[in-house]
Structure 1
Amino acid sequence: MNLPISKYTLAILFTGLLGLSSCQKDFLDRKPMNLISEADLWNDPDLIKMSLNEFYSFMNTGFATTYIPASYSDDLQVIGVEEGKISTFLTGDFTSTNFPLKNLWKDSYAQIRKINYFMERALKAPVLSDVQRKEFVAQARFFRAYVYYQVFSNFKDAPVLLHAQPVEEAQDKPAKVSHKEGIAFIIEELDKAAADLPATYPNDELGRVTSPAAEAFKSRILLWAASPLNNTSNDLSAWQKAAAAAKKVMDGAAFSLQPDYNDPFLKKNVLVKPEVILEFRYNGLKGERQHGFDKNNSPAGYGGRGVNGPTQELVNEYEMKNGKMTTEAGSGYDPANPYAGRDIRFEKSILFNTAPFKGRPVETFTKGKDMPTTNASPTGYYTRKFIAEDFDYNKDPNTTSSTNWIILRYAEILLNYAEAQNEAVGPDATVYQAINDIRKRVKMPELAADLTQEQMRAKIRHERRIELAFEDQNRYNDLRRWKEAATALNKSVNGVTITKATNGSFTYAPKVSGSRVFTDKNYWMPIPLVELGVNPNLNPQNPGW
């Protein structure tokens, strides 16, 4: 899919919605320009640099919609009035004309065309120095790899276009390359980008993609390629490559875990060894970069809408502070006080009955302040993660949230390494250290020292679900790459009904809050039928469609 570019003008979009890593001064916080003549653009190095800013808006943000991507999985259930927006995800009832992310193919190739056009012009622009040319093209190359990963991770096989095909040549019908070939191309692109990108930027340019960020993103992609969905023969060399990529990031020491679990989401402008690697950035300014997550997800009694309700399945995954699951002997779990003594990531991620929030306890019991008769949380829980508790969204309806959407952070790199290394060689000391480093931050005990490879695999998958809860599309894509989605997402999701007695005590009863359907064909999206009509070389369609 290629879109024409005007011979006379090129839009410079200062949407500036994101940056990579934390920074002191957002390089995108500059007054917008509408249209610049193409001749002026390619004769001014500063304008060429600024034209790169549009590519940062190609990154994903879960704050663009009222629901967040975790609602596709078994971790969240959206309220009834919002459920229709993701119904095809929940029912698995995809068709080649109506399916989740149905515009992703068209939009991605439009973005790829813009990036290709920029790269072609930048490589030839005489006004650029060799240093500028190398850096600008490397940034564009990173985003080309990022967009292509969205294509190949959703559609499996797809064309790779390396030139901005002019509109008059649109009769060319590119053929698909295999998923394996596509991923190899993306890795090659990231290697080239990492080689030419700087490790850091001056303060007024911090936020642009760096060499360590490209290496870190490669870690995610190699883990995807090594996983059961794509590595059907369990080729151990694929796991070794994934482990090596994550280890390179760890050894590079460009990133580190921040002191508090909430720091990556609520603290901006951390310049020294930040945990955040990739993020979609917001400044909270009216008409610019802001979102409504806080109001959309706070409980009803606080003036919120409570769109995304954490499920009981996720709540059950949080260990007790002694490291035992609630069902294990000696855990200390009290069914009459089910939320006490849990992993602190629980109270930092989920709002539950009696949780302190904005000056009073949350009331999710029947007829409580936060369980209205209409549009109450379907699960009895509300999302807390990402919410800045001191932000008053009721004070001014024109002021909305400015927290950044985290795409990739260092904790994931540690988890990537632990998973890949465990699959490659088993639970050696480095696997334990990676997981235990994450657990130590939240004062959770270290893992038992005698785990088998299979037991460690289960622990790592558990830790990913807890540590990365609600972030990016991690849970949904983890279930896909593990080939576990057809099991985990083919059943109901549950919540809790809480009743308050006259003496102030509570009773808790399980309830069904929603349903999921996922079959084997849902592991890959169908290629849009309209695209098959335009380009028959995109056949065959993905299996089941």
Structure 2
Amino acid sequence: MNRHTTKYTIAILFAGLISFSSCQKDFLDRKPLQLISEETLWQDPKLIELSLNEFYNFQNTGFATAYLPATNTDDLQVIGAEESKISGYLTGNFLVETFPQRNLWKDSYGQIRKMNYFIERAATAPVLSEQQRKEFVAQARFCRAFVYFQLFSNFKDVPLVLKAQLIDEAQDKPLKMNHNEGISFISTELDLAAETLPAAYPTAEIGRITSAAAQAFKSRVLLWAASPLNNVSNDLSAWQKAAESAKKVMDANAFSLQADYNDPFLKKNVLIKPEVILEYRYNGQKSEKQHGYDKNNSPAGYGGRGVNGPTQELVNEYEMKNGKLYNETGSGYDPANPYAGRDPRFEKSILFNTAPFKGRPVETFTKGKDMPTTNASPTGFYTRKFIAEDFDYNKDPNTTSSSNWVILRYAEILLNYAEAQNEFSGPDGTVYQAINDIRKRAKMPELPTGLSQEEMRVKIRHERRIELAFEDQIRYNDLRRWKLATALLNKSVNGVTITKAVNGTFTYAPKIAGGRVFTEKNYWLPIPLVEIGVNPNLKPQNPGW
């Protein structure tokens, strides 16, 4: 928490590029304005509305850095030049300066302070109509709940500060709220937001939080709360609540799966993408909101940097097109041609040796075009998901990518429902339907009938890993909430060395691509020591730190 006395002056900042549905020209696509006085702001409904937009700018985007969030899991391994930036994750030392989340506490409470102030002022501002007041406050409450979920899900127990303060809240030395009560607060806030927010907005306002978006995010929150990390006694009512929350979104018919797996990530210049619920938006305009994902992740032979390399562990999880894993009897897997005949999501997510890309086959064999002598893919694979293949990042070095970072989409809601319902009552027909809808879109066969609850659990967890690969912090938080991180993130990750013979055939040899350390203490982040120094009520520190 910032320890400086401050007087409130509000910057009018346009997130420009955050949206909770898709459109290219909406209320956020404007240039930033200069600072204006607080007195002027609260006399003008339009300026109040614009100040609210700042809160949309504090959402997750995996495109902010060259490495993706999933590099802290067993799905990706970064090139050597990037490893030092995430060494805190790789070594399990979350206290080092290189730990990516080192400012999460400070930044979150700085944003919460602004949100609290806005909520109090907007709730009583006489210049606002009753409808404006309700909608503005509801949007701010959603954004505050979103930030609080980042805090509670990472630090476990944290202070809940809900009043506007002109000086740092640490000086009040607030007590921590326990995790379960914090999640209950977030859930209630999302309910209140959902009750007040509209189902849709006029075209010029598309991108603001809707009632369905608030309910959808609640689905993620309640699934987290019901999982083994937090629901130690396996209280089935927690799973029931999570299932009901996701089902409510499904029954509202506000979102749907798009025709192609890549559509939510790569379709541009459309007003609405029906699968996208939350996303951080980029407009691709020079000197505004851009990112370098396409260049950062294309292989070296295409002028890219190839930062994030999918692991062999992830590759092995992609089924064959007949629904069997590569090592299952009857799969049809050919060791001499290991990437043929896989789940179609494989070739849409991963660049492998011989994959067609930008007019030629990828070459990840030793001395191939895409395996340079320095900073080659450590795994023998490159990421393809999120890359717009027709975007030429070499044509103009000043023009970078404009694809949006998807935070939450409808496929996750279906997966959330399937998991929660299976844990609550077993694999009934609705569980099968949710998973099979996703598999049907991917052109994969339906799940076999007659699965036990445990067998269905394995299938659902597998489907989450494939369908949601590289998205947000999903894999990392899944392994945490399932209490599997100490087993799966506490060992090396692997890749492949490929050799090309003179006759053009390839041989494949396994190799270690990188290491991971994750012990019991890593399930929760340490509370920053400087914050404990200011506020002793933040003790005790999280276990192990």
Pairwise same-fold verdict (TM > 0.5): yes
Alignment correspondent of 2:395: 395
Cα shift readout 1:75-110 (whole Å, capped 9, x = no counterpart): 000000100100110111233877440110010000
1:382 aligns with 2:382: yes
| 1:382 counterpart letter in structure 2 | Y
Deviation at 1:287, TM superposition (A): 1.1
Whole-Å separation in 2 of the counterparts to 1:122 and 1:234: 41
Alignment correspondent of 1:463: 463
1:214 aligns with 2:214: yes
Whole-Å separation in 1 of the counterparts to 2:288 and 2:167: 32
Whole-Å separation in 1 of the counterparts to 2:53 and 2:303: 35
Work out the number of aligned pairs and report it. 545
Deviation at 1:170, TM superposition (A): 5.6
Deviation at 1:32, TM superposition (A): 1.9
Q: SS at the partner of 2:158? A: coil
Alignment correspondent of 2:188: 188
Cα shift readout 1:425-465 (whole Å, capped 9, x = no counterpart): 00000000000000000110000001000000000000000
Deviation at 1:35, TM superposition (A): 0.9
Whole-Å separation in 2 of the counterparts to 1:436 and 1:114: 43
| 1:407 counterpart letter in structure 2 | I
TM-score of the superposed pair, with normalisation by structure 1:
0.98
1:115 aligns with 2:115: yes
Deviation at 1:17, TM superposition (A): 3.0
Cα shift readout 1:170-189 (whole Å, capped 9, x = no counterpart): 63110001000100010011
- Is the contact made by 1:7 and 1:38 (CA closer than 8 Å) also made in structure 2? no
- Is the contact made by 2:88 and 2:95 (CA closer than 8 Å) also made in structure 1? no
1:135 aligns with 2:135: yes
Alignment correspondent of 2:263: 263
Deviation at 1:268, TM superposition (A): 3.1
Alignment correspondent of 1:224: 224
1:14 aligns with 2:14: yes
Consecutive unaligned residues in structure 2, runs of 5 or more: none
Name the CA shift for 1:323/1:291 in 2 (closer, same or farther; >3 Å).
Answer: same
Deviation at 1:36, TM superposition (A): 1.1
- Is the contact made by 1:2 and 1:165 (CA closer than 8 Å) also made in structure 2? no
Whole-Å separation in 2 of the counterparts to 1:42 and 1:3: 26
- Is the contact made by 2:85 and 2:100 (CA closer than 8 Å) also made in structure 1? no
Whole-Å separation in 1 of the counterparts to 2:534 and 2:212: 40
Q: SS at the partner of 1:496? A: strand
Whole-Å separation in 2 of the counterparts to 1:117 and 1:166: 9
Whole-Å separation in 1 of the counterparts to 2:362 and 2:96: 43
| 1:360 counterpart letter in structure 2 | R
- Is the contact made by 1:291 and 1:400 (CA closer than 8 Å) also made in structure 2? yes
Alignment correspondent of 1:439: 439
Alignment correspondent of 1:76: 76
Name the CA shift for 1:526/1:97 in 2 (closer, same or farther; >3 Å).
Answer: farther
Alignment correspondent of 1:479: 479
Alignment correspondent of 1:30: 30
- Is the contact made by 1:67 and 1:307 (CA closer than 8 Å) also made in structure 2? yes
- Is the contact made by 1:14 and 1:53 (CA closer than 8 Å) also made in structure 2? yes
- Is the contact made by 1:24 and 1:206 (CA closer than 8 Å) also made in structure 2? no
Q: SS at the partner of 1:35? A: coil
Cα shift readout 1:510-538 (whole Å, capped 9, x = no counterpart): 00000111000000000000000000000
Alignment correspondent of 1:423: 423
Cα shift readout 1:176-206 (whole Å, capped 9, x = no counterpart): 0100010001001101111111111111111
Deviates more, 1:90-99 or 1:349-358: 90-99
Name the CA shift for 1:458/1:231 in 2 (closer, same or farther; >3 Å).
Answer: same
Whole-Å separation in 2 of the counterparts to 1:494 and 1:395: 35
- Is the contact made by 2:70 and 2:473 (CA closer than 8 Å) also made in structure 1? yes
- Is the contact made by 1:354 and 1:361 (CA closer than 8 Å) also made in structure 2? yes
Name the CA shift for 1:6/1:43 in 2 (closer, same or farther; >3 Å).
Answer: farther
| 1:321 counterpart letter in structure 2 | K
- Is the contact made by 2:86 and 2:99 (CA closer than 8 Å) also made in structure 1? no
Provide the identity percentage: 79
Alignment correspondent of 2:104: 104
Consecutive unaligned residues in structure 1, runs of 5 or more: none
Q: 1:212-361, aligned counterparts within 5 Å?
A: 212-271=212-271, 274-361=274-361
Q: SS at the partner of 1:494? A: strand
Whole-Å separation in 2 of the counterparts to 1:136 and 1:516: 44
Whole-Å separation in 2 of the counterparts to 1:171 and 1:400: 43
